[in-house]
Structure 1
Amino acid sequence: MRMRITEVTAVAVRVPRRVPMVASQGAISVSEFGVVRVDTDAGVVGWGEIAMSWGRVGRALCGDVARSLAPVLVGLDPRDVSACALAMQRILHITPDGAHAARAAVEMALLDIAGKAAGVPVYRLLGGRVRDRIPMAWPIPWGAPADTADAASWAVEQGFRTVKLKVGRPGGADREAVAAVRSAVGDGVAIKVDANMAYRSAGEAFAALRPLEEFGLQLIEQPLPARDLDELARLRDRLATPLLLDEACWELRDIGEIVRRGAADVLNVYVVEMGGPLQAWKAFAAAESAGLTGLLGSQCEMGLATAACAHVGVAVPNLAYESDVVGPLRYPRDIVLNPPRIEDGFLYAPDGPGLGVEIDESALDALRIE
């Protein structure tokens, strides 16, 4: 029996964070996101979350949904997720201005509808689970060495076995922070570092990162600009630590270039950056075909998009490192009544139909931007 999309709407929300995230790109203390609602003629409603921390954010991306995506989707069957994704791709390409996050939110809502209609969680639509839970890392912003060490110790007390430190500062600040964390947490906790494209050349990055390797790093993330793949390949050959790419991996065709140039050991795949859960699943499959592993990146999503990430994470076989999707712990209030469980350093995918979370209408009303 056919089902039709009757309306696609989006509202922007403004949500304060408990602690600002400070890194080479700047500081963020408030998330301006968006919530997408897809209605159908069968009465089934799907929800998705626009989660983008930099550049064009909530209000602008909600405008993309209203002006560009809604008109091409109304009348289509939401359960034909691939057909809807193709329609969105034709009208709104994945670009660095954030349009991918608008597409991702709509695709989350479509999968939410498809799962609800079939009575199964989204991970079943992605091939089923290969794991019961997803190991998480706790990201820590720039700060004084003692503060960074305290944050890492707190994370370990909460059950996290990996911490992620933002680096990219001049002088010896990064080395002091990594040394303090290693001293505080011991050798049994993994440390990965993320430079967010802070360096301008392989030589500069090597000079900054090589001294950090003595502390036994797990991964080094995106030290150079996204398109400097040849320089990244040269740096990868010189470092002992595996190289993780993030900003260089924003769409499927990026993976082909990364592989061709030998620029990475691991890929950081974002559901919001790839354009949705199905697109992220494809990215993991593309990486697997080239012998690469991956993890799930985060734009500090709230509970709705975190659920979408969790469904992807339990369904892909080549998730080999701790992921960063701990957004619900960053906010004093969420937009869902039942955020996905994060416990002892693990994220669990909801088992209910669709995304498995329920919108908190009162929170949505309180947080929305008029």
Structure 2
Amino acid sequence: MPLRIPRLTPMVATQGNIDSSEFGVVRVETDAGITGWGEIAMSWGRLGRALCRDVELSIAPTILGLDPRDVAGCAVAVEQRLDLATDGAHAARAGVEMALLDILGKALDTPVYRLLGGRARERVPVAWPIPWGDVEATVAQARTAVEAGFRTVKLKVGRPGSIDREAVSAVRRAVGAEVSIKVDANMAYRSAGAAYAALAPLEEHGLQLIEQPLRPQDLDELARLRSRLATPLLLDESCWHLRDVGEIVRRGAADVLNVYVTEMGGPLQAWKAFAAAEAAGLVALLGSQCELGLATAACAHVGVAVANLGYESDVVGPLRYPRDIVRNPPVIKDGYLHVPEGPGLGVEIDLGQVEALRCG
């Protein structure tokens, strides 16, 4: 079921201006009377309606009749059928995997995080992302975030001229030394030299992380840039598939990985990516496509279960919208995302909101 919902505040960055989001809601029904729910969430490229067609035309016929408790077996069947190289196809698969884990948790009367190994922490620390804007607006958003309990803010950078440096400097003065600042360039630069020239001056203001300054495929250039920067390098767009983790490690291109539940293909796939990073001695955090409450719950289950969550994650999507598709969205308070404790994903679908937000 494709949905569309406006954002309270547009996200403006290198890749454009997003003032609304398009999602998909996946419903998987079983002959045991248990229904599982999942969410398709992508902000760029192929969106809800196209990805819902992936589910209807490719994934659903593949898993129809299989045991939904065999999540790994269903994943293998989907891998063999769906061209996961297609832009965004992992997000379609993620919606289905969420629904299958929701079913399994409900069948066993246990939260999904216990299916992923149980708690490594009680809650997930989160950061507040701030879009491009003038210096005054950026500072105002940072102050509001800190007043709300966030201890880390994320600034979008990548603009020509001095505005990024002015914004980072002004935010540092406004929030003080105790609040962390990370910056995200969203692939804005075309060479390691250009990226270094733009980013090195920002390091004077004590950055926590620098995220994805170059294009995804430029891993050797990213490795060179990493060797010159004092701030740890976080890779996002370079880490959209499980196989990317090994290549990033082999090239020495990152200090930290940004792992998405949606882009990796689901909670179990994201858990595997964290484990692969841990095996290589890396930490990771959870990325966000500004999910609604359903997929945010899935992210929370992953976030409390993985051992090597090293920094604040970006999973604050429910705060970006005027309404939600679940009656009990996960609580985000004082800079933390709290995991739902009910069976499965632990949230209850609001079918009235789903119908009201349907598009296409």
- Fold match, TM over 0.5? yes
Shift of 1:121: 0.2
Looking at structure 2, the residues matched to 92 and 194 of structure 1 have their Cα atoms a distance apart, in angstroms, of 31
Shift of 1:324: 0.1
Structure 1 partner of 2:347: 357
Shift of 1:96: 5.3
Cα-to-partner distance string for 1:210-253 (whole Å, 9 max, x where unaligned): 00000000000000000000000000000000000000001111
Structure 1 partner of 2:259: 269
Matched, 1:289 2:287: no
Give, as a single letter, the amino acid of the residue that structure 2 aligns with 1:284.
F
Structure 1 unaligned segments of length 5 or more: list them.
1-10
Shift of 1:90: 1.1
TM-score normalized by the length of structure 1: 0.97
Cα-to-partner distance string for 1:145-169 (whole Å, 9 max, x where unaligned): 1100000000000000000000000
Structure 2 partner of 1:245: 235
- Which has the higher mean CA deviation after the structures are superposed, 359-368 or 91-100? 91-100
Structure 1 partner of 2:40: 50
Matched, 1:201 2:191: yes
Cα-to-partner distance string for 1:58-109 (whole Å, 9 max, x where unaligned): 0000000000000001000001000001111111143251001000000000
Looking at structure 1, the residues matched to 92 and 82 of structure 2 have their Cα atoms a distance apart, in angstroms, of 9
Shift in CA distance, 321/32, structure 1 to aligned 2, threshold 3 Å? same
Give, as a single letter, the amino acid of the residue that structure 1 aligns with 2:288.
S
Shift of 1:260: 0.5
Q: Which consecutive aligned stretches of 4+ in structure 1 deviate over 4 angstroms post-superposition?
A: none
Looking at structure 2, the residues matched to 360 and 31 of structure 1 have their Cα atoms a distance apart, in angstroms, of 18
Tell me the C-alpha RMSD between the 2 structures. 0.6
Cα-to-partner distance string for 1:236-273 (whole Å, 9 max, x where unaligned): 00000000000000111111110011000000000000
Q: Quick one: percent identity of the two aligned structures?
A: 75
Structure 2 unaligned segments of length 5 or more: list them.
none
Looking at structure 2, the residues matched to 272 and 69 of structure 1 have their Cα atoms a distance apart, in angstroms, of 15
CA contact (8 A) 1:93 1:100 kept: no
Give, as a single letter, the amino acid of the residue that structure 1 aligns with 2:210.
I
Looking at structure 1, the residues matched to 158 and 85 of structure 2 have their Cα atoms a distance apart, in angstroms, of 25
How many residue pairs end up in the alignment?
Answer: 360
Q: 1:342 aligns with which of 332, 338, 355?
A: 332
Structure 1 partner of 2:171: 181
TM-score normalized by the length of structure 2: 0.99
Structure 2 partner of 1:6: none
Looking at structure 2, the residues matched to 84 and 308 of structure 1 have their Cα atoms a distance apart, in angstroms, of 18
Structure 1 partner of 2:323: 333
Cα-to-partner distance string for 1:290-336 (whole Å, 9 max, x where unaligned): 00000000000000000000000000000010000000000001010
Matches within 5 A, 1:1-370: 11-95=1-85, 97-370=87-360
SS in structure 2 at match of 1:332: coil
Looking at structure 1, the residues matched to 86 and 59 of structure 2 have their Cα atoms a distance apart, in angstroms, of 17
Looking at structure 1, the residues matched to 345 and 62 of structure 2 have their Cα atoms a distance apart, in angstroms, of 23
